[in-house]
Structure 1
Amino acid sequence: MAGRVAEQVSPLELADYQRAVRLLLGNALITGTHPNRAALPLIRRWANQLRADLHEVLGYRLVTTANTARLLRVQDELDVTRPARTRTDRPFDRRRYAYLVLTLAALGRSGTQIALGELADAVAADAARIDGLGLDTERKSDRDAFVDAVTWLAERGALTLADGSAADWVSSPDHAEALYDIDREIVFAVYLPSRVLQHMSSVTGLLDHDRGLAQGVHRVREAAARRARRLVLEHPVAYYTDVGESLRGQLRHPGLAEDLERLTGLTVERRAEGVALVDTSGRLSDLRFPGGGTPAQAALLLAARIAAHVAGSRSSALPAPTSAERTEALAARIDTGLPVQNVLAGLSEAQPAEPVDPEPGETVATHPFVTDAWLRTAMKGLMDAYGTAFSVAWRGDPERLLREAVRLLVALRLVVRVEGGVLALPLLARYRGTTAEVKSRATRSTGAAADQRSPRGE
């Protein structure tokens, strides 16, 4: 580190500064209203120190304007665990993401106000030129998806409802309308790609590969240190077996904990298997665990059963796919949906994920394998024991509840998905012995005794 983290911050003001850091890390775009009206003044107060520390510690870039603060992060790997969400808290699908980008393009060509129907027509015209997309305002499902994208922008201040109702327009576009004010500064702050997309033939071109940075031993070490800090900050846990030797050395370096703790105000916890930034208060985490809602409750109970199962049986043990292998597999899936037209082949850049090979003489770590059949049986047992506490919508669809519970455990890096089941990762052992109590039918929830929350930094 060239200088000490929060060097110009007095001890009395350090907690306030760390709150600003957590706000930025949890909300990459901050406006006058998002995530709240107090956020932007706080960020502007500490802008210079934030800009210096976030770049030095993490390699991030803070861009501020009169009405926005935008944190430009470095993307080290592909991650599907943090989707945009709809008005009903469901993850965006590909159609909604497409409508979101086309809506931003239409708003960039618009003035200061626009009617929802007019905006829909502009997006529909662009969507019609994309094979397999389209937007038919006569179909309610298309209107719902489009308004989900509009609402996502409205929540961030890019659009402000001036008159009418988007919900009424969705129900009856021929008899209702909504008028929005456009904040062009926020519109342009939302979408700031790190690369020219037309120059890429693979989604891996969006990932950071230290182009032009890692020159010489010192610069290589600096780049590795930043990546190690990002790994701990951005994920619930950083496992040593998931990375190469250079990153393992940086994860074990005592300066990593000192820098991250002073920057965020959270605690770095070290175990034999890896490092975690523990957020017991939920001040930074975007995914709290244990958490409310049936999927989170089912995930906690399922985690406890998996932990007990692998501790008391001789399950098969398999090596987990590394971060590089997961990124390569996910990139292959995403790249199948990329357009083949309008890509400038001469300028295209596809960066393969760097493999993590075991060191000579190093034993490859293996983890207990739990089959899908066992998971289905375990979920049936949970439904029998606690089903009355789960919401009605989930009680009727145990397969969907199992998918959501496993998806949450994967996002928390408690398990990893492999063909035919999951592998139980070391952090899962923390939930062994978790107990639950069915509360009254009026509350319809489960209470679970556990003391860990997900240290997520997004």
Structure 2
Amino acid sequence: MSTRVAENVSALELADYQKAVRLVLRHPLITPVYPDGGALATVRRWAEQLRTDLMEVLGYRLITTADTARLQRAQDQLDPTRPALSRSGRPFDRRRYAYLTLTLAALGRHGAQVALGELADAVAADAARIDGLGLDTGRKHDRDAFVDAVSWLTERGALRLADGSAASWVSDPERAEALYDIDREVLTAVHQPTRVLQHVTSVTALLDSAGARSLSEGRRAQRLSASRRARRLVLEHPVAYYADADPELTGQLRAPALAEDLTRLTGLTVERRAEGIALVDTSGRLSDTRFPGGGTVAQAALLLGARISEAAARTGRHAPELLPAPSAAERLADRAGRIDLALPAQGVFEQATADREDTEEETEGENGGSAALEVRYPFITTSWLRARTKEITEQYGAGFAADLRGDPDRLLDEALDLLAAMSLVVRVVGGVLALPLLARYRGVTAEVKARPRVRTTQSSGSTGSTDSPEAGAPDALFPADDVKDPAQ
């Protein structure tokens, strides 16, 4: 497969092609305005080669039109790490996702333009027919959630503000209004499901991995399907652990062709260790989340991760208990089960529970025939984690955000969520399991850097000097660039 990647791209143009690959992988929807004004031209230049390589290597389908480029991913797992974001940068909740889908449906029934208030009334009428949802334009909470959905579409170019202000409408819908132009081409590209949603009976039916193991496929087709799944596993996750992969993927993950394909396709480096394989993005050109990174949560997570790694490496009577981690199939079943419980109990979804039970039985049967050795990981208790978080806050809290500094339980929870998203730990009942990649940060050191105190001369006729306004500001925690990573 590796000989076919970028085969029509010259050595001089390979870096530009790889830039286009990273662009479309990071932004599955590209329009004349999103993510920036030049992105669409970059992708369209390489559209033909991109379509070939993304399908051959990853099983992804690229659809291009005059004003859009839409990447249809093949999804093997449920990924909670790439949510839609509100205007304030917070992940969408269920209400906002519901408003987004209802807004898309309502826009399909409008002409070239729509007023925000009119669109809100249309969405409210649909939302009223859904138990537990509703949209009351008289409540600012509901208006905020609705405008977050509208703003998400506006950012991507499906809507263009022609007049007025959405923020003013949120504040006072009786006195303010906003008028939007509707871009039909972008609107169509936003929602292009790869499944007939009316036939979906559970969340796992949205995934592609079940079809990848079809016994009706020929051996060559099965190998191609497995190779694509393995490449997607490495591309879409911080690390692919051999112990966590399906048995049919282990050989593909270890094959030299995988590293060659992904390196030539993305321009990034594939790093192999005894426990697994990772696509290393040191520049942040592809990753949607950087670690180490800036901000209170990322910095606290790094410091806590270093302490967890040190504790995990202890031996003798201080050695932590070793426990098996939930497998990828078990984590998927648990997450899918919790999502399915929120689906409507009537209509096409009523088979969700039965489908999930059948899937679990099949998984248990497959695992029962496997002779894979169970891998165990150091278990770190919640009480220990709370104590270390308190120590970190006391030592470095001067540079933390005030709301998190005053709520250590929330800080711990968000830091562990980040570590889990980066495949550094697995959250389990009563604590976490330390995964092998966490050892990379065992020797991390940090320091609080004091802000310089600037002396300024007072106005004429005065004597002495005063400190600048910034002199009284709290010390700042180290920037991300000051992290000392022993692995580098």
Using structure 2 for the length normalisation, give the TM-score. 0.89
Question: Could you tell me which residue of structure 2 aligns to residue 210 of structure 1?
Answer: 211
Partner of 2:70: 70
**Structure 2 CA distance for aligned equivalents of residues 12 and 404 of structure 1:** 44
**Comparing 50-59 and 307-316, the one that deviates more:** 307-316
CA-atom RMSD, angstroms? Answer: 2.1
Quick one: which of 394, 397, 409 aligns to 2:407?
397
Unaligned runs of 5+ in 1: 454-458
Residue matched to 2:478: 446
Q: Does 2:357 match 1:325?
A: no
Q: Does the CA-based 8 Å contact 1:30-1:39 persist in structure 2?
A: yes
Query: Does the alignment pair 1:375 with 2:385?
Result: yes
Partner of 1:343: 348
Distance between the aligned counterparts of 1:371 and 1:344, measured in 2? 39
Tell me, what secondary structure is at the counterpart of 1:363? coil
1:159: how far off?
1.0
The structure-2 alpha-carbon separation of the partners of 1:297 and 1:251, relative to structure 1 and needing over 3 Å to count, comes to same
The Cα shift of 1:192 comes to 1.3
Bigger shift: residues 203-212 or 102-111: 203-212
Contact 1:144 1:170 in 2 (8 A): yes
1:22-71 superposed Cα distances (whole Å, 9 cap, x missing partner): 00000000000111111101111100000000000000000111100000
1:273 aligns with 275
Give the 3-state SS of the residue equivalent to 2:380 in structure 1.
Answer: strand
Alignment CA distance shift 1:340-1:17 (3 Å): same
Tell whether the 8 Å contact from 2:309 to 2:434 is kept in structure 1 after alignment.
Answer: yes
Q: Structure 1 pair 394/3, CA: closer, same or farther in 2 (3 Å)?
A: same
The residue aligned with 1:25 is 25
Q: Distance in 2 between matches of 1:138 and 1:185?
A: 32
Q: Is the 8 A contact 1:51 1:61 kept in 2?
A: yes
**Residue 456 of structure 1 corresponds to which residue in structure 2?**
none
- 2:359 matched to 1:352? yes
Q: Which residue of 1 aligns with 2:462?
A: none
- 2:367 maps to a residue whose letter is D
Indicate if the aligned counterparts of 1:244 and 1:357 stay in contact, CA closer than 8 A.
Answer: no
Q: How many residues end up aligned between the 2 structures?
A: 453
Of residues 1-10 and 435-444 in structure 1, the stretch that sits farther from structure 2 once superposed is: 435-444
Whole-angstrom distance in 1 between the partners of 2:2 and 2:261: 12
Tell me how far apart the structure 1 counterparts of residues 312 and 48 of structure 2 sit (CA, whole Å). 50
Q: Which amino acid aligns with 1:215?
A: E
Q: Distance in 1 between matches of 2:414 and 2:475?
A: 21
Partner of 1:231: 233
Deviates more, 1:5-14 or 1:370-379: 370-379
Per-residue deviation, residues 370-402 of structure 1 (Å, max 9, x unmatched) = 111111111111110111100122222221111
CA distance in 1 between counterparts of 2:347 and 2:76 reads 26
1:244 deviation in Å?
A: 2.2
Correspondent of 1:365 among 375, 378, 383: 375
Inter-partner Cα distance in structure 2 for 1:29 and 1:213: 34
> Is the contact made by 1:210 and 1:223 (CA closer than 8 Å) also made in structure 2?
no
Per-residue Cα deviation, 1:130-156 (whole angstroms, up to 9, x for no partner): 000001111111111111111111111
Provide the rounded CA distance (Å) in 2 between the counterparts of 1:183 and 1:397.
44
Deviation at 1:442, TM superposition (A): 5.4
1:427 matches 2:437: yes
* 1:315 is the counterpart of 2:320: yes
Q: Could you tell me how far apart the structure 2 residues matched to 1:344 and 1:421 are?
A: 34
Structure-2 change in CA distance of 1:361 and 1:142 (3 Å):
closer
Query: Which amino acid in 2 is paired with 1:395?
Result: R
Q: In the TM superposition, what are the counterparts of 1:166-205 in structure 2 within 5 Å?
A: 166-205=166-205
The secondary structure found in structure 2 opposite 1:436 is coil
Distance 1:224 1:200 in 2: 24
**What amino acid is the match of 1:318?**
L
- Closer, same or farther: CA 344–203 of 1 in aligned 2, 3 Å: closer
What does 1:26-41 align with in structure 2 at a 5 Å threshold? 26-41=26-41
Does the aligned pair in 2 maintain the 1:301–1:382 contact within 8 Å? Answer: yes
Any unmatched runs of 5+ in structure 2?
451-472
Offset, 1:446: 2.8
What residue is the counterpart of 2:463 in the other structure? Answer: none
- Alpha-carbon offset, residue 116 of structure 1: 1.0
CA distance change for structure 1 residues 411 and 344 in 2, over 3 Å: closer, same or farther?
A: closer
Deviations 1:290-331 (Å, cap 9, x if unpaired)? Answer: 111111111111111111121233111111111111100011
Q: Distance in 1 between matches of 2:27 and 2:435?
A: 29
Residues 1:406 and 2:416 are matched in the alignment? yes
Q: Secondary structure at the match of 1:12?
A: coil
Please tell me whether the aligned partners of residues 99 and 145 of structure 1 are also in contact (alpha carbons under 8 angstroms). Answer: yes
Match in the other structure for 2:466: none
Q: Using the alignment, how far apart are the partners of 1:360 and 1:287 within structure 2?
A: 35
Distance 1:2-1:376 versus aligned 2 partners, 3 A rule: closer
Specify whether residues 72 and 345 from structure 1 end up closer, same or farther in structure 2 by C-alpha distance, changes over 3 A only: same
Tell me if structure 1 keeps the 8 A contact 2:165–2:178.
yes
Q: TM-score, normalised by structure 1?
A: 0.94
| SS state at 1:423 partner | strand
Q: Partner amino acid for 1:233?
A: L
8 A contact 1:68–1:189 mirrored in 2? yes
Identify the residue that residue 86 of structure 1 maps to in structure 2.
86
Greater Cα offset, 168-177 or 23-32: 168-177
Distance 1:260 1:109, change over 3 A: same
Identity of paired residues, percent? 64
Give the AA of the match of 1:299: A
Q: Does 1:60 align with 2:94?
A: no
Q: Is the 8 A contact 1:417 1:423 kept in 2?
A: yes
Secondary structure of the residue aligned to 1:343 is: helix
- Bigger drift between 17-26 and 399-408 goes to 399-408
Equivalent residue, structure 2, for 1:306: 308
